[in-house]
Each structure stands twice: as C-alpha cells, then as structure tokens.
A and B are shown apart, each in its own frame.
Chain A
Amino acid sequence: MMFFISWRVMHREKQNKMSPFLSFVRKEFYHIFRDKTTTAILLALPVLMLMLFGYAITTEVKNSRVAVYDPSNDLFTRAVIEKLNASEYFTVVKMLKTSDEINEQFRKGEVKMVIAFSEKCYQNMLHTGTAQVALIVDGTDPNSSKAVVGYASAILAQQQQDMFQFTNIPFQVQPEIKLLYNPTMKGAYNFVPGVMGMILMLICAMMTSISIAKEKEMGTMEVLLVSPVKPSHIILAKTIPYFVLSLINLSTILLISVFILGVPVAGSLFWLLMLSLVYILVNLSLGLVISSVVDNQQTALLISGMVLMLPVIMLSGMMFPVENMPVFFQWISQVIPAKWYIIGVKKIMIKGLGFEAILPQLSVLLGMAILLIGVSIKKFRYRLE
C-alpha cells in the first residue's frame, strides 16, 4: 500500500496535480488538530490513564493452578498438598518430578504458582525444628500474586499448627517466597499493558467511527460518494490520522512506563511493535464496522462506549483477573481483542518472552483483523450498492 501511495504521489507531481487522496488525508489532519480540546485530550489521555490506573484494585483469586515439586513425599507435605487442593483458591494440576521443570511451567503459562518442598521435610521439622518450602509465583499480575502468596502461606501455617499443636517444641516452617518477573510487586507491571490496550482501542475504534459518523450526519459523506474519490480511499484517508495518533500515544505510554514508572521492555521491542500494529489494525477496522451501521455521532459514541470500552475495562483482565470470572464471561473475554493484546504485551514487556510465546495472541489478533476488514469492506459496499 505504501508503495502504491508513493508511486501515486510521484506520478501526480509530474502532472502538477495534487492527489485527491492526499488532499483528503490533509483535511482529516486539519479536523483533528484544529479541535484543540480533543487533540489535548487525546494526547494527554495516556498520561492521565497511567496515573488513574496506578491505583489498581485488589481482588481475590480463585482456583489458581498450582504445580507441586515434592521430593519428600511425607506426612507433612502430603497433608499440605491435600489442603491446597481442597481449598477453593487452588487446584493442583501437576506433580513435578525434578526441580528443573519449575521454570518450564511458568514459561508455558500453565501455572500461577509452584510450591516446592525441600527434601525430608517432616524429618527435618522433627529434628531441627525447621523445614524449607518455596512458593514460586508468577508476579505478572501483582494483585492476584499477593493474594495467592497470602492464601498459600496461611495454609502452610494452618497445617503446621494442626500437626504439632500438642507438642511444646515451637516448630517453624519458613516459606521462602520468590516472585518471578515482577520481583517488587509493582502495580505498573499490570496496568501498563492494560492502558496500552485501552488507549489504542479508544483512539482507533472510537475516534474513527465517530469521525465517519460525523461525515454522514453532516451530509458531507454523500458529496464524497458522488465525487470520483474511491470509497476505499475515503475510508483509508479517515483511518490514517488515527493510525498516526495511536503511534504517538504508544510511544508516550512506553516512554512513561520505562522512564517514569520503571517498567522495562524486557523482551523484543520489534515484536511488541508488531503486536501493537496488528492490534491497531483490528481496532481501526472495528471502528469502520461500527461506522457502517450508525448514522450519527452520538450512536457511534454510545456503541463504542458500551460495546467496546466497557468489556475492555471489565473483561479483558486489565482490572479483574479473567480466571476469577464466571465461565460465561470467560467465554466472552475470548472475543475481546484487548484481552489477547494485553496478554501478549505482558509476555513481551514483562516476561521478556519472544516471538514463539506471543504466536497464539498474534495469530488470534491477525485473524480478527482479517475478519473485521472483510466485514467492513462488505458493509461499505452494501451501503453503496
């Protein structure tokens, strides 16, 4: 496409003509940047949101998946595992044979926590009064990690008390807690990806749909359709400014997050950008689809607000853990692009994983983009027919 456009520009200049497409794109930029209030809001939005969501909400986490590494396999450890499994907070999904498997579990994203016992736990407790238990927790989402650590520690303490309540020796199990990926439990690790998902959606889907709805409302769309400008060019010209704007916002967010909030981009910046580009594409086409079914700005705003914003805030996992939702809502969250994007961003930015790790997210988003572009083109043609 870029090649096509630049070829067109060169071709035009020879004829001393200005491309209709480019005059149209320029007009779109005028629209956005003339409206000082909107521009200010759109540019300040990421900063504002990062501040707002700095105060994340604590939630309890149920049925966290746990893997167990238990070389002792004795009275104490078996009782703890049973208690864990019986509690509503945990589901023991796997028994690990070697300690080497621990990291692999996290890399695959299979478990939230690994509980690793030292050897001869029970014996050590009886003889030396201490035993080691390690709780290794995926700290990507600090709220749920905190909760998980709390629950597990409580269960350990409980079991200890149950077993040794009639003896006078003060036995102590010291759980050693190690948080992976987010050692200092910063909330920013969680909300930065969330804010990225939200802002990009807001700019792309919401603003695009509103700006097209406006043309319909004002009657200018009719005039444009009568003109020789191709409908596809009208649509493309509409999306370009918001594409640029979302790239500006993306860089703002990343700069703030790296230099102010201290959240590094642990993985590949290239794949982070690629993932973002695909996500932007999804949202631009979502905006086009919305604008093809509405005729005025208010409806466009309402639909993008209700159909896009709300689910992203509530169901994408940016505020409330998806695993804590009723099954029905977990299904719904599957079709929310932001959910996939946020997971992908967390993997790259925070876990530092590479291309293979985000392949599922990237493919889902790519699929969504293709589907939505197809629908919006079809919708637009149909309306013209």
Chain B
Amino acid sequence: MDKVIVAEQLTKQFGHFTAVDHISFEVERGEIFGFLGANGAGKTTAMRMLCGLSLPTSGKARVAGFDIATQTELVKQNIGYMSQKFALYDELTVAENIRLYAGIYDVPKNDIQIRTHELLQRLGFESERNTFVHSLPLGWKQKLAFSVAIIHQPRIVFLDEPTGGVDPVTRRQFWEMIYEATDRGITAFVTTHYMDEAEYCNRVSVMVDGKIAAMDSPAQLRKDFNAKTMDDVFHQLARNASRKAE
C-alpha cells in the first residue's frame, strides 16, 4: 500500500516539557485517520509538525513522501488544511475565496475556472457564487472551507477539529464530504473532540501525555477495551493521564 504519512519517533520538546514524546505511526492513502486526545495531550503540536509549521526536536516524518524538516516547501504544496475557524475571508465572495486559495496554491488559471464551477455545482452553491461569505450560514461556510482546503487536489488534508460548534445534522453531512474526498484518493487526517465522529474513521490513534496510547480501527479498539462505544475507550485511556487539560 501507498503510505502517505510515516512518522518515526517524532518528538517535540519545549524546554523541559515534552509535548510530543516519540510517536510513530503510518497512514495509508485514502484512509480517514482519526487523531484523538484530550486538550494538552499533544495532538495539535504533532499536527503542526506534520504540516511543516514546526520543526521536530528529534525523530522524523515523511508527509506525501517528503521530509517535514528538510522539504517543508514540498510538503506544503501537497497538503490541505482546515481548522475549526474555517478561515474564509468574510469580505470576499464565495467565488473570490475559491480563486484566492487556488491562486495561493498555484493552480493554473484555466483550471481555477473549471474547478470553481465544479465545486459550486457539487455543493449546489451556484446561486451563491457572488455572495459575501459573511452572510452564509455556518454549515455552508464549513462545507465551503473544506472544498477550498482541497481545491488544489492535495494528497492529504489535515482537519483540525473541523466540526466544532456545528449541529449534528450538518456534522453528518460534513462527514459525507470527507468520504467523497477519500473516495477520490485524498487522505484525511482528522482531530476531533466528538467520540461519535471517531466511529466514522477507518483508524484512530488516541494520544495521552504526548504518547500514542492506542491505535487501531474503532471496532478493534472497542473489542480490545471491552467497551461499547469509542467514548468509553477514550475515557479508559484518558483516566490515567497525568497532564491536566489546559
């Protein structure tokens, strides 16, 4: 299989504090990989390293086949990123936001028009093409933000708590979009607070105190921990955490 993320003994220290402690894992192409952990467990720090925003103290990782420490530029060209804040520009229209991000990711000019058209059609947003983003409902913004994050057809999309503050119905619809994207060969790396969402992932890892405490498919984890739900699994693991949530 094609491995798009390979982390080996990845570590990040801030002074004496070890935020991420020798984690190793692999993510395969087209997978939805859930990255769980309580606040302060180190998942954001790990994700920042994988996105090329932060250099590891030791250990190494390859993302989309490129070294995160030495080939940051190439890593960045091959990933998409979406955070809880959605990061669209309110003062720009839907089409302008798409064009901006496509431009930033160096998508050829002709392709921008084609992809914008496709994207709007897929979302059923054609009538909103020239609407300012600030007047869109939250759920729509979220869908648009995700579509924009993968406008350059990255190999991996990093989703940092993408469904924060969104109602369950919209969340469900959002996960359908993630499935569609992975069907097209994009790998999704998702952090989330919602344990029901963990069930939607192909595989999950649970971080506790900077280390990966468990990593498998949700079904296998439930079996191993003799738990009914992922929530239960999570609590069993997090109970022993020494770090307090920030």
Contacts and interface: CB of A to CB of B under 8 A. Distances in A.
B87 A24 contact: no
Interface string A166-178: 0000000000000
Given A30-B96, A225-B53, A385-B54, A220 B89 contact: yes
B104 A23 contact: yes
B109 interface: yes
Interface stretch (B2-10, B72-80, B166-174): B72-80
A241 to B, nearest CB: 13
B104 A35 contact: no
A34 B130 CA distance: 14
A219 B86 contact: yes
A26 B82 CA distance: 22
B109 A16 contact: yes
B87 A222 contact: yes
A384 interface: yes
Interface stretch (A149-157, A226-234, A251-259, A349-357): A226-234
B105 interface: yes
Interface string B70-100: 0001001101011111111111100010011
Given A27-B89, A222-B87, A228 B108 contact: no
A332 interface: no
A220 B104 contact: no
B87 to A, nearest CB: 4
Nearest to B76: A228
Contact of A226 (B53, B90, B99, B100): B53
A226 B91 contact: no
A222 B89 contact: no
Interface string B132-171: 0000000000000000010000000010000000000000
A20 interface: yes
A223 interface: yes
Nearest to A222: B83
Contact of A31 (B52, B53, B82, B89): B89
B104 A24 contact: yes
Nearest to A31: B91
A229 B105 CA distance: 8
Given A23-B99, A226-B79, A219 B105 contact: no
A218 interface: yes
B87 A218 contact: yes
A229 B96 contact: no
Interface residues of A, number: 28
Given A27-B92, A226-B76, A228-B76, A218 B85 contact: yes
A227 B109 CA distance: 18
A24 B91 contact: no
Contact of B73 (A15, A19, A228): A228
Interface residues of B, number: 36
A371 interface: no
Nearest to B53: A225
A18 B85 contact: no
Nearest to A23: B103
A16 B109 CA distance: 6
B165 to A, nearest CB: 13
Interface in B176-225: none
Nearest to B86: A219
A36 B67 CA distance: 46
Name the residue in A16, A20, A226 with the highest tally of chain B Cβ atoms < 10 Å from its Cβ. A226
A39 to B, nearest CB: 12
B51 interface: yes
Give the most central of A18, A26, A229, A384: most B CB within 10 Å: A18
Contact of A17 (B88, B91, B101, B106): B106
A229 B158 CA distance: 17
B85 A20 contact: no
B110 interface: yes
Interface in A185-238: 218-220, 222-229
B55 interface: yes
A26 B91 CA distance: 13
Nearest to A223: B87
A34 B76 contact: no
A73 to B, nearest CB: 74
Contacts of A27: 89, 92, 96, 100
A18 B109 contact: yes
Q: Which of B77, B82, B86, B89 has the most A CB atoms < 10 Å from its CB?
A: B89
A220 B89 CA distance: 8
A30 B106 CA distance: 20
11 contacts: A16-B108, A17-B108, A26-B100, A30-B92, A34-B92, A219-B85, A223-B149, A226-B81, A227-B76, A228-B73, A228-B104
Given A23-B104, A222-B87, 19 more contacts: A20-B103, A24-B104, A27-B92, A27-B96, A30-B91, A30-B92, A34-B92, A218-B89, A218-B90, A219-B84, A219-B87, A220-B87, A224-B104, A226-B81, A226-B158, A227-B101, A228-B77, A229-B104, A384-B53
